[in-house]
Amino acid sequence: MSAWSYQLELDGLMAGQQRWQLRQTGGEITAEVITEFAGPLQALGNLRQLSRMDGDLHSLEYQEGPQGRSAQLTLREDRSGLYQLRQGTDQASVPAILPQHDPLSILLLLCRLPPDGTRTFLAGHQIWLQRLQRSGQEGLIGYRLRPGRATAWVEESGQQLVQLVQPLEQRLLTARLRPTQEPRRSRGKRGRG
């Protein structure tokens, strides 16, 4: 299991944190993300997202909703060859002809993209993950996600999503990777001489 977290900022003001946990069991990967909103976004409460993916990061199941309550948004491939998308009482089906991604698997996919980016499907809609010619940040590769106008920065080594900037009307929501903390070493008792 691997875990990491992001600090959230809304126009530079602390707006919460996001904790990721990734587990691999056999050929499946499960990502669980807990977002705790604070400051100007505190009224949003806490959000839980869960994604179950195959080894190529194609979505098998996705759930999203307030932490501690049932999911308000689900995406799941069923046995009839359809992706079922449910949000509240609304439901839609999309033929499972092409593999789909969900909001978590698409972010993990950024770390595996070919140099020019790619087009893929997110919950039935085509999106383009376009590599930026210049990221403006040393050691990072930038991508623009279209539609949606989000911009993401990934380590050149392809190991980690470092920053995601999502425009929200006239504001910017930024998620920045928090540095990992090294475990503290316990200090042994020193004997007196």
HEC readout, the chain: CEEEEEEEEECCEEEEEEEEEEEEECCEEEEEEEEEECHHHHHHCEEEEEEEEECCCCEEEEEEEECCCCCCEEEEECCCCEEEEEECCEEEEEECCCCCECHHHHHHHHHHCCCCEEEEEECCEEEEEEECCCCCCCCEEEEEEECCCEEEEEECCCCCEEEEEEEECCEEEEEEECCCCCCCCCCCCCCCC
Determine, yes or no, domain membership for 173: yes
Determine, yes or no, domain membership for 186: no
Number of domains the chain is built from: 1
Determine, yes or no, domain membership for 10: yes
Give this prediction's pTM.
0.81
Determine, yes or no, domain membership for 31: yes
The pLDDT tens digits for 48-101 are 999 999 999 998 888 888 876 666 656 676 777 777 777 777 877 777 777 888
Query: What's the domain range around 17?
Result: 2-177
pLDDT at 15 > cutoff 90: yes
Determine, yes or no, domain membership for 183: no
Q: Can you give the pLDDT at residue 8?
A: 98
Determine, yes or no, domain membership for 65: yes
